[in-house]
Structure 1
């Protein structure tokens, strides 16, 4: 029989995150620190609005681009939080999670062979989405000594005459790195000079612990070059509601809406009504969750320092990225042994790009009780590894 599968899809590797999650789900008394999902329930007033919308029979399609009142609230939110003004009629599209927005932006912007700059370590979807859109991923390896920030020098080094789009994944998954105003201003000069566009994934924008998040779209002359991606999963603990949005120049958003129209139709109606409530009345919920994450973050930074594990201090998202190079094993080997011997799942840094080798991603979207138990097991594990090294 003729092969029914497309080579492009077959050749893409599956996500490296899910492997350890699947293993730990079948292991008794195991602790998972691997999945990037808030451990909080969606705040009740948001759930209640979703339930109310169902009770009122609001179960029909919305417009392709999303509920008018939701797009208005997204515009209001971005105006007050990141000081960027979008036309809710033509420059905002409501999507099925931020992931759909990333995929669609690349599919409407890339011609075959055009290059996309992807700083790594970073979220697993950028590279395969580039390939599926017919583009060519070009990896920029971020460095621990720079706190995994993107520098103008690194950006310039990778630009060619085929470069079209830069993915800007900050606050960063998996490192927890952020880009401050001065960092963004420095790379914006390069972006404008080289006539590039930016896909700015700001899904963790509410989870920063050093200063308020700054969007590159707020830098002068950058809004017209930026597709801003955000959503409700992380800040409002709404992962299962599958709701995100894209904002950008009208000519790009119109084409994304056309693609969304044919592929999806519209985002879930119930989720959209709940999201209106989240944006109108959810600031206190976000602040409460952010403070809880910050408490856990500080605990982990201190714990790794006590263990003698090298780890830069993350100021965004809910991940920490300790270095395990001293043990002379790959990230995959370390994570596998740690799971088998101590029943704790973490994600190898290589799940987020080859330059993640020698690191682990640990999520602190878990209770302090679980984190303390897991870190106690890690202390025993690395003590054992250090003893093994002495015996060699």
Structure 2
């Protein structure tokens, strides 16, 4: 037994360095703890509480009953690729050849990793504005890239600008990773900001990966102005890998359907990787996604409006209990500042879960600039959000009273 334990303990050192140097997801860690407790309100996981659109479910069931249980073409159903291309052209004026420039993937997670593997050589630098989704840096690391974080701040609405990016450019900089609407902050990028970034990208001959999974979930001024699709910016179409999917906008997380769009020479590389890694995305998921694109737009808008109402409840509620909270205009997250409690992000999240059974995620799980914040997902019911705000308020009052700080 001792010999076996010694052997097992030595195995970790034999793992690839690129895997050993990446920490487990900070999001999943709190979710797993919460799963062992009773009466927990989870504001931790970015998963819609809505059921997928009925039309998508029925289409998938019908396809299974019709015996459509085999592979699709490696690149995905041509009908789905055509529908994706049509939707992007209609909404944002960006045009892709569905036969050569659209790839259906196993969620945006696969699309992200394919893009990094296709574009990044060992030692290439990848600029990643942060706070950001936890998978961006690991995806770059797994491809052999060097992650260069570019901090953003609440003072600038968590928008990254060309002026922010320029000091981090070196001769090794190759890729800019953009993720807006942003997870975890809910920030969006304005058109003029993207245009300035576009000029910088062209000047320094960079490539861009743009994660736009939350493109339909925007609110307030951002909704009035409309989402700005990165490849719609002059000069960026030919330099951008556009990532999107169905998990968030359409509440279809478990179907695992995403897509990547790019100019043909780039997409060929993603396609080659995709062929060897996964073969094709799930057939029934593709059928469901096609039905959703064609017939579930009212469902998307209904969910967007519900998120908007929840957004107001949680943002106003957190502000009312004394936690400064940035006004999110996209996705379904808010990012309150907890520094006034005297606790770190980690301490706040751990104690809140233990004492009040509310799960949130420490802000620094999303990058160094997230220190002092926590991420709260409002992709849960209004009743649970209202109760969560009450519990958070009770917790904050108790913590401040113990420190002798007035609420």
The TM-score normalised by the length of structure 2 is 0.95
Alignment of 1:29-108 (within 5 A): 29-108=39-118
Structure 2 unpaired stretches of 5+: 1-6
Work out whether 1:152 is the aligned partner of 2:166: no
- CA distance in 2 between counterparts of 1:118 and 1:52 reads 42
Q: Following the alignment from structure 1 to structure 2, what is the Cα–Cα distance between the partners of residues 302 and 131?
A: 38
Displacement after TM superposition at 1:391 (Å): 7.1
Instruction: Give the alignment partner of residue 195 of structure 1, picking from 199, 205, 208.
Output: 205
Tell me the secondary structure at the aligned position of residue 390 of structure 2.
helix
Q: Match of 1:239?
A: 253
- Quick check: 2:318–2:393 contact (8 Å CA) kept in 1? no
Partner of 2:241: 227
Pairwise CA distance, 1:45: 0.9
Q: In 2, Cα distance between the equivalents of 1:364 and 1:391? A: 28
Partner of 1:285: 299
State the match for 1:273 in structure 2.
287
Paired residue for 2:3?
none
SS in 2 for 1:205: coil
Counterpart of 2:263 in structure 1 is 249
Partner of 2:380: 366
Query: Aligned equivalents of 1:97 and 1:202: distance in 2?
Result: 12
Runs in 1 of length 4+ with deviation above 3 angstroms?
1-4
- Partners in 2 of 1:226 and 1:391 — Cα distance? 49
Q: Output the CA distance in 2 between the equivalents of 1:330 and 1:386.
A: 14
Structure 1's unaligned 5+ residue stretches are none
TM-score (norm 1): 0.98
| The one of 30, 33, 53 aligned to 1:20 | 30
Query: 1:159-174, aligned counterparts within 5 Å?
Result: 159-174=169-184
Counterpart position of 2:315:
301
Quick check: 1:184 aligned with 2:194?
yes
d(CA) in 1 for partners of 2:130 and 2:95? Answer: 30
Root-mean-square deviation over aligned CA pairs: 1.2
Aligned residues: 392
